[in-house]
Amino acid sequence: MSYHQIYARWKADPEAFWMQASQAIDWTTPPSRAFFDQGPAGEWFADGMVNTCWNALDRHVAAGHGDRLAVIHDSPMTGSVTRLTYAQLQDSVARLAGVLAAHGIGKGDRVIIYMPMIPQALQAMLACARIGAIHSVVFGGFAAHELAVRIDDAKPRAIIAASCGLEPGRIVPYKPLMDRAIAEATHKPDLTIVFQRPECAGEMTPGRDLDWDAAVEAASPVDCVPVTGNHPAYILYTSGTTGQPKGVVRHTAGHLVALAWSVPNIYDIGPGDVFWVASDVGWVVGHSYIVYGPLIAGATTVVFEGKPVGTPDAGTFWRVIAEHKVKSFFTAPTAIRAVKRDDPQGDLVAGHDLSGLKAMFLAGERADPDTITWAEDRLNVPVIDHWWQTETGWPIAANPLGAGLLPVRKGSPALPMPGYDVQVLDEAGHPVAPGTLGAIVLRLPLPPGTLPTLWNAESRFDKAYLQHFPGFYETGDAGYVDADGYVYIMARTDDVINVAGHRLSTGAMEEVLSAHPAVAECAVIGVADALKGQAPLGLLCLKKGITTEPAQIVAEVVRMVRDQIGPVAAFRTACVVERLPKTRSGKILRATMARIADGETVKAPATIDDPAILDEIRVALASVGYPVEG
């Protein structure tokens, strides 16, 4: 069936479409129907009984595929490649689940996972799924404070961590970061399980910290525990407009069905195929398509601990694709820009047999046409942009390779996937004509696999996503849809910025800057960055009478953001200004300042309180190297 037939079939009868899709999953008790009009925005397959780990591991082993490779861990950081079959992964997961169960952790209990890109991270996630515990993975590039905020929100019974992560040129000691986070948090977990890596041993707290190896060796394996379809599989925190991250909830059955549909239809991956998603388990891309999606499909997933460049060079991606016979490859545009910067002609592609590669997928930020063309010319495969969010868990718009590729239009992530009715509305909520810019919204209900609510924050869910445009989910992205239905994502409508494919809150950074004793007021904006898409820039107004050198204050706030949010914020620049431009009602004109920093000719908005301030901002931005236009 072609894309257009699939989409039309879904539109004609969503209930029948998703009930049929649900047959790709093993159920303990099949659901009586697909959609349940309950909860803040509807739920899927709520009365079915199912287990994620069974669908990802046990059913493949039971079907005789225990010897098939489940995971290839390729780590240029340690110079090692480790392979795990489905049977080996099932055994290690069942034992780790046994450790958790022996400590009384079960259905509905939360477990935070703070680990780098090692197979144990997948084992930890699957072990939680096996017993119905709700995991929340925290990306390793976040600092202790961010981990503490998530501990206090999720209230985990246990934390599973590695002793360290490996970044180029440095070891990131996760264990002390976890200890600091636990000390800072009000909520305390009962236990932690620490995987000690040879590169750096974490110091253990007796009575609280268990050694992974010893605990797993001594444990008895446990079986999968069926849960209801609307049981939360996981919570994944993502940046909103404030320093308090949003805990996106994923329900079990919708997640399984959406991934079972999307892996073959979008990525063209089936049993035995090798899928490589060069992201991190700490992001939604990692949850859906490094861990769960490929395993549910019975495929082999590549877990890569390295960078696109510098580990050891810009040929690493091509080496991994050739060596492991990768069929579909997925990364962020920023990673390809990094490769292109180091190897502009793509000379390092030569010598690698990429004949098994069928397509490269890009997501996480806008895929600029130059990057797409560069990759197409070097790899000779389709380069497919697709668009989604932590909230949706799987692509909203894509070009479905498995269902038959549609013509590529560079700059567009192509067409809506079944389940998603994409509309563009003006500020008053009226639909706009094709090609007209507006707020991109999705008609409710959202499809299976998308967020049903936010953890412990139903009213925030309502306010952030549902209130502004009744009957629709507000994506927070602005863009347009052309006359043929191709979607174009152009910008965010909120204060979220996208740095190297990572979604970050300027509000969270502003909270950190405001805490500096010399800072009276501040703003953080996202400015264009050739490599990372956007980079954060701080503007600081100092308190009266401050005599400290501005350069010192800037160095201090840069350090504070790194310590409190983490290196992933990539906050490196700030400048001191006398005043910030505001509307007459007091709202800081962040977007106006960002356009000035990007070199656009900007006229003062009609609502501005004092237009003269824009000239002061121009001078300040020019002084730190921005290409400001008069």
Q: Which stretch binds ligand COA (CB under 6 A): 23-31, 87-95, 333-341, 456-464?
A: 333-341
CA 327 to chain centre: 22
Determine if 280 is a binding residue for ligand AMP (CB under 6 A).
Answer: no
Q: How far is the CB of 70 from ligand COA (least distance, A)?
A: 22
Determine if 163 is a binding residue for ligand AMP (CB under 6 A).
Answer: no
Binder of ligand COA out of 147, 225, 500, 542 (CB under 6 A): 500
Q: How far is the CB of 385 from ligand AMP (least distance, A)?
A: 5
CB 396 within 8 A of CB 418: no
Binder of ligand COA out of 570, 602, 613, 614 (CB under 6 A): 570
Q: Which does 140 bind (CB under 5 to 8 A by kind): ligand COA, ligand AMP, none?
A: ligand COA
- Residue that has been written with the tokens 């240029």 in this structure: 76
CB 211 within 8 A of CB 179: no
**What CA–CA distances, in Å, run from 503 to 129, 165, 426, 545?**
26, 21, 25, 36
- Map residues 225-264 to x or -, x wherever contact with ligand AMP holds by CB under 6 A: -------------x--------------------------
Question: Residue 487's beta-bridge partner residues?
Answer: 481
Binder of ligand COA out of 489, 568, 577, 602 (CB under 6 A): 568
Binder of ligand AMP out of 9, 83, 103, 492 (CB under 6 A): 492
Determine if 506 is a binding residue for ligand AMP (CB under 6 A).
Answer: no
Determine if 364 is a binding residue for ligand COA (CB under 6 A).
Answer: yes
Q: Which does 338 bind (CB under 5 to 8 A by kind): ligand COA, ligand AMP, none?
A: ligand COA
Determine if 306 is a binding residue for ligand COA (CB under 6 A).
Answer: no
Q: Which does 91 bind (CB under 5 to 8 A by kind): ligand AMP, ligand COA, none?
A: none
Q: What is the dihedral of CA 87, 92, 93, 96, to 10 degrees?
A: 160
- Backbone φ and ψ for 170, nearest 5 degrees, come out as -155, 155
Determine if 261 is a binding residue for ligand COA (CB under 6 A).
Answer: no
Binder of ligand COA out of 50, 57, 89, 338 (CB under 6 A): 338
Q: How far is the CB of 80 from ligand AMP (least distance, A)?
A: 29
Binder of ligand COA out of 61, 332, 383, 422 (CB under 6 A): 332
Determine if 19 is a binding residue for ligand COA (CB under 6 A).
Answer: no
**What CA–CA distances, in Å, run from 150 to 65, 136, 153, 234, 455?**
38, 9, 5, 13, 11
- The DSSP symbol for 304 reads E
H runs (alpha helix) in 268-404: 284-286, 293-296, 316-323, 333-342, 369-379
CA angle at 416 for the pair 415 and 421, rounded to the nearest 5°: 140
Report the relative pairing of strands 165-167 and 170-172 from DSSP bridges.
antiparallel
Could you say which residues in the range 428-487 bind ligand AMP, by CB under 6 A?
475-477
Binder of ligand AMP out of 21, 96, 363, 523 (CB under 6 A): 363
**First vs last Cα of the chain: how many Å apart?**
55
Determine if 567 is a binding residue for ligand COA (CB under 6 A).
Answer: yes
Half-sphere exposure of 402 (CA within 13 A, CB side): 16
Each as own residue / partner, the long-range contacts of residues 293-296 (CB below 8 Å, 24 or more positions apart, any chain) are 293/259, 293/262, 293/263, 293/267, 293/269, 294/263, 294/269, 295/56, 295/57, 295/60, 295/70, 295/126, 296/25, 296/55, 296/56, 296/256, 296/259, 296/260, 296/263
Q: Which stretch binds ligand COA (CB under 6 A): 124-132, 156-164, 224-232, 328-336?
A: 328-336
In the complex with ligand AMP, the residue whose CB is nearer, 212 or 289, is 289
Question: Which residues touch 535 (CB under 8 Å, ≥6 apart)?
Answer: 499, 526, 527, 529, 570, 572, 573
Q: Which stretch binds ligand AMP (CB under 6 A): 79-87, 252-260, 350-358, 379-387?
A: 379-387
Identify residue 308 by its one-letter amino acid code: P
Task: Determine the Cα–Cα distance for residues 111 and 103; give it in Å rounded to an integer.
Answer: 12
Binding residues for ligand COA, rule: CB under 6 A, are: 116, 140-141, 165, 167, 172, 279-280, 283, 285, 307-309, 332, 334-335, 338, 363-364, 500-502, 567-568, 570
Binding residues for ligand AMP, rule: CB under 6 A, are: 238, 284, 363-367, 385-387, 389-390, 413, 475-477, 489, 492, 498, 503
